[in-house]
Amino acid sequence: MADLVVTTTESVTLTGRQYGNTHEATITGINQVAQGKVNVKSSGFLNLLAFDASDQQGFYQFLNDTMKYFRLTNLDASNSVVLSIGTTDGISTPLDVINIEIPAGCSYVFHGEGAVGDGLNVAGSFTTSAFRLYRLSVQALTSNVDVEIFIATT
């Protein structure tokens, strides 16, 4: 098992004063990583990764509750991509789907909580009840883009 160290930094100077900060997080117990670059079309969603209770299948399907860290970076210089995160309560799949736009050059980072689920839900009122990950898919908004994905699991 290994430790994954994630560092986040931002810096900007406005009217002579620097703003921003650096944060470092150490994520323990990492046993598997997958890293790759894929082309994403603007015609329909492409399934990137899935999660399942009983079976791991190569780079595509991981076991439930094992995801500790996921990053998707939009490598394109001008076009956005939408990341669609499907959730499940073990009965309905997908239960809720959360759709997030990632502009050109930007990244979306997602931290899993392991055994207590992956921390997502859509509800009609404020909620702290999390469902687990079911599937991650992507679609480019106007033109095809390349994205880099990095996932670390227990």
Partner 1 sequence: MATLTTKIKEEVTLNGKLYGNETTKTHADITRVKQTTVQVAASGNDDLFDFASATYGIGTIAFNKAKYIRITNLDASETLFLNVYLDLGTDEYILFQVPPKRSWILNEDSMEGTGSATTTLDQINAIKAQCSGSDRIQVEIFVAEIT
Binding site for partner 1 (CB under 8 A): 2-14, 19-21, 23, 25-26, 30-33, 35, 45, 69, 71, 73, 80, 82, 84, 86, 94, 96-103, 105-109, 111, 113, 117-130, 137, 139, 141, 148, 150, 152
DSSP letter for each residue of 4-36:
EEEEEEEEEEETTEEEEEEEEEEEEEE-EEEEE
Cβ at position 78, least distance to partner 1 in Å: 13
Cβ at position 39, least distance to partner 1 in Å: 17
Cis, bond preceding 103 (omega within 30 deg of 0): no
30 or 63: CB nearest partner 1:
30
The rounded distance, in Å, linking the Cα atoms of 101 and 84 is: 9
6 or 50: CB nearest partner 1:
6
